[in-house]
Structure 1
Amino acid sequence: MSTTSRPRHQGRPAADSLVLDTRSITRTPGAMTQVRRAAVLPSSIGVELIRIPEGDEVDLDLDLTFVEEGVLVTGSVAGCAEVECARCLGEFTTEVSVDLTEMYAAEGTAAAAGVEQDEVRLLDGDLLDLEPALVDAFGLEFPMSPTCTDYGHSGCVNPDTPAPDGVSGDTEGRIDPRWAGLAEKFADPGTDEGAR
């Protein structure tokens, strides 16, 4: 869990922000409010080959529950990720979602001590910032080397890519697109095609 220091927020957050205002929750343990809306990402979330781009919307489906030492956030967040297959280098988009269970402790409470041990997050006054929690959650959910078949495709979206076993019955004479740049660079000057 990331505890990087972030600037304090001033005033009320925008209606499409990942910063949530908890002032609408009655300050009685167990009191709850629901957040069902879209929010715009201020920066991209993900890893090198799979990410939800900056400026895209994610759908929040969250319950905010007041507890004695802060606010408990539970629910899910969904969006559309851009994926580059680690095998064929083909690009596509896919729906992604994560489940959240995050405790945001109020400053000065015993629970706030858990911030240093990465056990809880800290409220910024009456505001809570979901972005660091989403960075962590999607970062754990996304594979480092996604492939087309990881996301429901029967094969690679780039048809020129050989099968995973390296055998492709109808690709004789074709160069694997992943190595095409090398084939051009090291092409035999006496032929029109790269070395095979």
Structure 2
Amino acid sequence: MKRALMFAGAVAVVLTACSGEERSPLETSMYNKDNDKIGTAVLTEQPEGVQVKLKVEGLEPGMHGIAVHEFPKCEAPEFKTAGNHFNPTSKEHGLMNPKGAHVGDMPNVEADPSGMIDVEVMLPQAKLKENQKSLLRQEGTSLIIQSGPDDGMTQPAGDAGERVACGVITLDADKDETSDPTEPDKQQE
């Protein structure tokens, strides 16, 4: 009986560890309206939410809205297939909204004069593990970058302009082997 309990406990620990490790970190490729890969986003489960390390190039210099959207679909050129902001708790839009924000709402990011974004941001309400707020629940979600800044209040999505880049957030997202333009060419090393 003691061995059976120890075995059951060991199996539970392994299964719990595997479910978290399989989901985090998760890398997704980001594509522009021409369906060219422009960089990556690496999502990592943290105690305080999901950390997103975003590294993309080829954007207009300046501030850009960024948010997680409800469907893992990035059909160029408009990326409308990604749906609305990820909002499983039925809140209103905006990080400055006193009634609370969408789970997918994120702070604006800035592209430098060369059009590069290299930043880390947090999604404090989100999870990668199974949960109502999991970015991987059902089929997954997507990450959208917009042409202008999100004003943090306007409904339903912050008046941030057109969608200019998209990446799917799924368990299979990190299987994309397209070369990353933001990384040095490995053949030249």
Q: TM-score, normalised by structure 1?
A: 0.28
Which has the higher Rg, Structure 1 or Structure 2?
A: 1
Q: TM-score, normalised by structure 2?
A: 0.29
The higher-RCO structure (CA 8 Å, 6+ apart) is 2
